[in-house]
Structure 1
Amino acid sequence: MPLIYAKDGAVATFTIDNGKVNVFTPEMHRELHEALQDFVADPMIRVGIMTGAEGRSFCAGDDIKTPLPDLTPHEALEAHFFPHIHEGRTGLTRPGWEQDVMRFKRLKPIIGAVDGYCLGQGLIYLLLLTDIRLATPEAEFGFPEIAYGMAGAGGMTRLAALIPQAVAMEMLLLGERIPADRALSAHLINRVVERTGLMAEARAMAERIAGHPPVAVRLEMEVTERALDMTRDQAVDYAATLFRFQRVAYQGYGAGTGFFGTKHEAAE
């Protein structure tokens, strides 16, 4: 499988493994969606890591050389609104499972570990599917699609809401790659880590998160995401409600009880 999904204790790892620069095929989008479904459903898994296979780029985007079924203009319009409508007859195509992945809702954290190229669909997935991002000094980030008449990554990722607008527009309109140090200064990533220590650092972060009470992690994920689209008063009210709910539940179940336990107890 070009998308390898593995579990080790409370941590799941999504490894992109398809050629030297790890391009995505339509089948890999479906594999990723299936892995994400298992990730959120498995109560024993508390955090994920997304990375490229060792010695390869994180992901250089979609494989534009993958042959796709020919669709008539009418079929292409149908596929826009119903991405899987023609799969039974034509096989996987675009738009397809990448639409489901980009819309996937999760309340479990994923750490991105990037080496080499992180471009196009690979960068879209990094921004939409990861919450903390590490990169090696050799990593490069970019959206080259505009040069091929395929714009829209800024809207799909809300890039200008994640990093300074001027930097976002530079990336989107020039279509040029930026190095890891520039990505760090723009807060596109959290840390630059040497290649030899990338996965160890990601794993250490994952284990630390997995040691926290799962309910606290889940509520922090939810309130942070939803508050982005709220006014200040709405965000405070919502966060206070979830905080009080957690404290009442914690007191009701008692310290050390399952998903409401303390950090030490939850890790045991």
Structure 2
Amino acid sequence: MRPNFATTTVERDTGIAFVTLNRPERRNPLSLEAMRDVTATLRKLGGDDTVRVVVIGAAGPAFSAGHDLKEMIGRTLMEEQAIFDACVEMMQAVEGIGQPVIASVQGAALAAGCQLVASCDLVVASSNATFGTPGVKIGLFCSTPMVAVSRAIGRKRALQMLLTGQTIDADTAADWGLVNLVVPDEDLAAETRALAERITTASPLTVRIGKQAFYRQIDLPQDRAYDAMAETMATNAVNHDAQEGMQAFLEKRTPQWEGR
């Protein structure tokens, strides 16, 4: 599968879909076109039961420098609003599809690029990766990136990034909770694939239930979260794959998933 998009490419391999931002000569800007392309791609993949995991990566030395500033100068309020609405739509698509989405990050992930990383379910970063929300330096506070970044790393650290515009390195990003795994530059693709493959060994139905449940409960008060998740686990438990998995465990054999 290779959608006819100028800004992105998509390849599939054994249940993993690799979505690649493909404007390396400009550090993969998240232009209006690019964001719409990514959103359309994610929605298509989200409806495909053969896709178990989605990996978002980027061609070239940088992940993404963020919004395309050239298309944001001299625009009307309505035109600017369309850009940020498309950005929000893309981030919500990452969370909204049933498959886990892994960001595979090399080089700079800045502003909306950092927001995209923070919006992904898991993040593998090259040791040369850097992350930042530098909008304050050019008079455009990173307000939409703030939503995802602050939820990933907490208030104080997010405000440090937002108010100073300074970047953090991959190890700091991991320490702060923005990144799951930091690997040598040359191992980024292999380590990202290995993480994705570990996820594909689980029941695809169970993974979808789990991802959706995670985001439903995370911002609820604890008592409401427990109520919602008790119901979710009970519903999950009567599904075929859960019954098969528990029986296989007791019988010390490999489960046979059917996705139901």
User: What's the TM-score, normalizing by structure 1?
Assistant: 0.82
Alignment of 1:184-199 (within 5 A): 184-199=174-189
Contact conserved, 1:11 with 1:49, CA < 8 A, in 2?
A: yes
Range moving further from structure 2, 229-238 or 175-184: 229-238
Mapped pair 1:44 → 2:44 = no
Alignment of 1:1-268 (within 5 A): 1-20=6-25, 21-53=27-59, 55-66=60-71, 70-71=75-76, 76-77=77-78, 80=81, 83=82, 94-95=83-84, 97-104=86-93, 105-128=96-119, 130-151=120-141, 152-153=143-144, 155-157=146-148, 159-250=149-240, 255=244, 264-266=255-257
Amino acid at match of 2:198: R
Contact conserved, 1:118 with 1:139, CA < 8 A, in 2?
A: yes
The 3-state SS of whatever aligns with 2:239 is helix
Distance in 2 between residues matched to 1:234 and 1:102, nearest whole Å: 26
Distance in 1 between residues matched to 2:243 and 2:127, nearest whole Å: 46
Range moving further from structure 2, 12-21 or 43-52: 12-21
Contact conserved, 1:210 with 1:267, CA < 8 A, in 2?
A: no
* Map of 2:250 onto structure 1: none
Amino acid at match of 2:150: A
Shift of 1:155: 4.0
Shift of 1:266: 3.1
Q: Decide whether aligned partners of structure 1 residues 67 and 232 sit closer, same or farther in structure 2, where only a CA change above 3 A counts.
A: closer
Shift of 1:25: 2.0
Contact conserved, 1:153 with 1:172, CA < 8 A, in 2?
A: no
Q: Decide whether aligned partners of structure 1 residues 12 and 267 sit closer, same or farther in structure 2, where only a CA change above 3 A counts.
A: farther
Distance in 1 between residues matched to 2:228 and 2:116, nearest whole Å: 28
Contact conserved, 1:180 with 1:192, CA < 8 A, in 2?
A: yes
The 3-state SS of whatever aligns with 2:19 is strand
Structure richer in helix, relative to its length? 2
How many residue pairs end up in the alignment? 243
Distance in 2 between residues matched to 1:200 and 1:125, nearest whole Å: 21
The 3-state SS of whatever aligns with 2:117 is helix
Shift of 1:99: 3.3
Range moving further from structure 2, 114-123 or 56-65: 56-65
Deviations 1:66-111 (A, max 9, x none): 477843xxxx34874xx3xxxxxxxxxx345323213322222011
Amino acid at match of 1:64: L
Distance in 2 between residues matched to 1:248 and 1:103, nearest whole Å: 29
Deviations 1:205-235 (A, max 9, x none): 1111111001211111122111112121211
Distance in 1 between residues matched to 2:71 and 2:145, nearest whole Å: 24
The 3-state SS of whatever aligns with 1:240 is helix
Shift of 1:184: 1.2
Distance in 2 between residues matched to 1:193 and 1:132, nearest whole Å: 14
Structure 2 unmatched ranges of 5 or more: 1-5, 246-252
Superposed CA RMSD: 2.5
Shift of 1:145: 0.8
User: What's the TM-score, normalizing by structure 2?
Assistant: 0.85
Distance in 2 between residues matched to 1:244 and 1:26, nearest whole Å: 42
